[in-house]
Amino acid sequence: MKQKILLWMVLFITLPAPLAWGWTLVAHPEKKVEGGLEFEPICPQFRKTQQAPEEYLKLKNPLPPSHENIFAGQTLFHFDAKPGPCRVCHGISGNGLGFLFRQLSPSPRNFTCSQTVDPLPDGQLFWIIRNGSPGTAMPAFKNLDEDQIWQLIHYIRHFSRKEQ
Ligand code: HEC
């Protein structure tokens, strides 16, 4: 009997915390809770990223947005890209709140923010992924070949075009 009461007491104390946390995630999947604080993705996001040269701005993604290309971009984004997978800064859901986000200024681009990212030409994204953004944490990904960068761009674009 005593044991049962003890068990109920333990459950009573420990259950509400994960439930409340789970509820926050379910109700606001776009938010990030860290150290008891709630963070919202930044949108619209102010950017003073260097502009790519003219000839890049004209480029259009030459690859079709096929399942294979998006999948290849997805694995690079989350796991395989070197020097580090994009997700550690840009976040699992692309909202710019990856686990390094509190250390970074300026903040990683929030790819879910259509206002900010949709007007950016494919070639601008290509150029920054290849060369990085000097003076920020965005590294150059020199070892990715062109197709891999275009696959990443197809994947990144999907974050702001949820309906597709
Ligand atoms: C170490 C952190 C970090 C990693 C890893 C990282 N990024 Fe970034 N990224 C940033 C930051 C910070 C910015 C904002 C740069 C700025 O404001 O100029 C950024 C900006 C960008 C932009 C915006 C370009 C623009 O013109 O606005 C693109 C596209 C991008 N990153 C793609 C990627 C991709 C794809 C990967 C993985 C292959 C990646 N990033 C990995 C930190 C990172």
Ligand 1 geometric centre to CA of 32 (Å): 19
- Choose which residue among 80, 109, 127, 146 to substitute to test ligand 1 binding: the one with the highest number of ligand atoms within 8 A of its C-beta: 109
**What is the C-alpha separation between 94 and 91, in angstroms, rounded?**
5
Look at residue 164 in the predicted model and tell me its pLDDT: 46
11: left (phi over 0), alpha (psi -120 to 50) or beta: alpha
Q: Is 106 in the pocket of ligand 1 (CB under 6 A)?
A: yes
What domains, with CATH codes, occur in the chain?
A: 2-30 (no CATH), 54-158 (1.10.760.10)
The residue nearest atom 40 of ligand 1, judged by CA position, is 86
Q: Which of 43, 52, 30, 54 is nearest to 149 (CA)?
A: 52
pLDDT of residue 163: 56
**Distance linking the first and last C-alpha atoms of the chain:** 57
Q: Please give the pLDDT value at position 11.
A: 63
How many Å apart are CA 141 and CA 120, to the nearest integer? 19
Q: Which atom of ligand 1 is nearest to the CA of 116?
A: 27
- In the DSSP assignment, the letter for residue 76 is I
Asked if residue 89 has its Cβ within 6 Å of ligand 1, the reply is yes
Q: What is the pLDDT of residue 156?
A: 97
pLDDT averaged over 10-residue windows placed end to end, the chain, 164 residues = 72 60 52 85 95 98 98 98 97 95 95 97 98 98 98 97 63
Cα angle 113, 119, 120; round to 5: 95
